[in-house]
C-alpha cells in the first residue's frame, strides 16, 4: 500500500477554521455528517458557539474553539484543546480569510496588504505548521486550503485578496510535494463567488450591483452554493482521495481558464 492509500486512523477528527458561518460552517456541518468529530475554529466566539450548538443538536460531536489564526501561540493552544478533547486531527481545512478593502491596487496601503496576508496566508501557515507534524507522525492526514478563483485570475480592485489566494495556491503546491511520501495529502480549492457575509453589509441596490458584476464572469450565471463547496472538501478530506496532492481543484461554474 502506498502512502496516499493508507487508511484513516481510528477516530476521524477534523479542524475547520473560519467555521462560524458561510463556507466554513457548511464544511463543518458536512464533515460532521460524514462522521468526523469536528473542531470549529473562529475568532467570532459568539457566532461560533451558536453554530456549534446547532450542530450538536443534530447529534454531531463538535468542539468550538475561539481563536484568531494570526496568533501562532493561540493556534497552538487551540490545537492542544482540540487534540485533548477529540484526538489528533486527520483533516485540516484552512478556510478562514478576509476580503480586505476593495479599491485600486495602485492606491492600496502596504499595511492593508499585510492585514490581509496575516489572515489569509500566515494564518493558514500557522495552522498547517501546528497540525501537520502530528499527521506525519501518524502517517495519515488531509489538508485542504480554501483559496479562490481570484488567486488564479487576479480580480480587479481586490489586489491583496487575489495575491493572498495566489500565495495559498502556491503554498499548497510546495507543502503537497514536501509531504508526498508521508501519507499527508495537501490540496486547495478555487471557488468562484458564493453569497456569504465575506462581501460585508451593503444596501440592496449596492448588493445587486456587486452580485451582477461577480456573476457576469461565471458561465453558469449563479453563485456556488456553500454545500457544493463542502461536497468537494468532504472528498478531499477523505481516504477516497488517495492520488491527488499539491493540486488546485476548480469549482467555478465554468469560469476558470486553467
Ligand X SMILES: NC(=O)c1ccc[n+]([C@@H]2O[C@H](COP(=O)([O-])OP(=O)(O)OC[C@H]3O[C@@H](n4cnc5c(N)ncnc54)[C@H](O)[C@@H]3O)[C@@H](O)[C@H]2O)c1
Euclidean distance between CA atoms 131 and 147, whole angstroms: 19
Neighbour-count burial of 242, counting CB atoms closer than 10 A to its CB (0-12 exposed, 13-18 middle, 19+ buried): middle
- 77 lies in the binding site for ligand X (CB under 6 A): no
Euclidean distance between CA atoms 226 and 24, whole angstroms: 8
- For the bound state, the minimum distance from the C-beta of residue 108 to ligand X, rounded and expressed in Å, comes to 18
Q: Which stretch binds ligand X (CB under 6 A): 152-160, 192-200, 231-239, 240-248?
A: 192-200
Q: Which neighbouring-strand residues pair with 247?
A: 187
- 247 lies in the binding site for ligand X (CB under 6 A): no
- The catalytic position among 161, 184, 191, 234 is 161
Which region, left, alpha or beta, applies to residue 71 given φ > 0 means left and ψ of -120 to 50 means alpha?
beta
Cell numbers that stand for 236 in this block:
478531499
Q: Which stretch binds ligand X (CB under 6 A): 7-15, 54-62, 93-101, 172-180?
A: 93-101
Cell numbers that stand for 100 in this block:
480586505
Cell numbers that stand for 152 in this block:
488564479
User: Which C-beta is closer to ligand X: that of 145 or that of 238?
Assistant: 145
DSSP class per residue in 18-60: S-SSHHHHHHHHHHHHTT-EEEEEES-HHHHHHHHHHHHHTT-
- 142 lies in the binding site for ligand X (CB under 6 A): no
- 98 lies in the binding site for ligand X (CB under 6 A): yes
Q: What are phi and psi of 62, to 5 degrees?
A: -135, 135
Report 205-244 residues binding ligand X (CB under 6 A): none
Quick check: is 161 catalytic?
yes
Report 108-127 residues binding ligand X (CB under 6 A): 119, 123
User: Which C-beta is closer to ligand X: that of 4 or that of 42?
Assistant: 42
- 196 lies in the binding site for ligand X (CB under 6 A): yes
- Interaction site with ligand X (CB under 6 A): 17-18, 20-24, 42-44, 68-70, 95-98, 119, 123, 146, 148, 191, 193-194, 196-198
Amino acid at each position: 500500500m502506498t502512502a496516499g492509500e493508507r487508511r484513516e486512523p481510528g477516530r476521524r477528527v477534523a479542524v475547520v477554521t473560519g467555521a462560524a458561518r458561510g463556507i466554513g460552517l457548511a464544511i463543518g456541518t458536512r464533515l460532521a455528517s460524514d462522521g468526523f468529530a469536528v473542531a470549529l475554529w473562529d475568532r467570532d466566539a459568539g457566532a461560533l458557539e451558536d453554530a456549534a450548538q446547532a450542530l450538536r443538536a443534530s447529534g454531531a460531536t463538535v468542539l468550538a474553539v475561539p481563536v484568531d489564526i494570526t496568533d501562532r501561540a493561540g493556534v497552538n493552544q487551540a490545537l492542544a484543546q482540540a487534540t485533548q478533547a477529540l484526538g489528533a486531527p486527520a483533516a485540516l481545512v484552512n478556510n478562514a480569510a478576509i476580503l480586505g478593502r476593495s479599491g485600486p491596487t495602485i492606491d492600496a496601503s502596504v499595511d492593508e496588504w499585510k492585514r490581509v496576508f496575516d489572515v489569509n496566508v500566515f494564518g493558514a501557515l500557522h495552522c498547517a505548521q501546528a497540525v501537520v507534524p502530528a499527521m506525519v507522525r501518524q502517517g495519515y492526514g488531509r489538508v485542504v486550503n480554501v483559496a479562490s478563483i481570484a488567486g488564479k485570475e487576479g480580480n480587479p480592485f481586490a489586489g491583496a485578496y487575489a495575491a493572498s489566494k495566489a500565495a495559498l495556491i502556491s503554498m499548497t503546491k510546495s507543502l503537497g510535494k514536501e509531504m508526498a511520501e508521508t501519507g499527508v495529502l495537501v490540496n486547495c480549492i478555487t471557488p468562484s463567488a458564493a453569497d456569504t457575509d465575506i462581501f460585508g453589509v451593503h444596501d440592496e441596490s449596492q448588493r445587486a450591483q456587486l452580485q451582477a458584476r461577480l456573476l457576469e464572469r461565471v458561465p453558469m450565471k449563479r453563485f456556488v452554493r456553500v454545500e457544493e463547496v463542502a461536497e468537494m472538501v468532504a472528498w478531499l478530506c477523505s481516504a477516497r482521495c488517495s492520488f491527488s496532492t499539491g493540486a488546485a481543484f476548480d469549482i467555478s461554474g465554468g469560469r476558470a481558464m486553467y
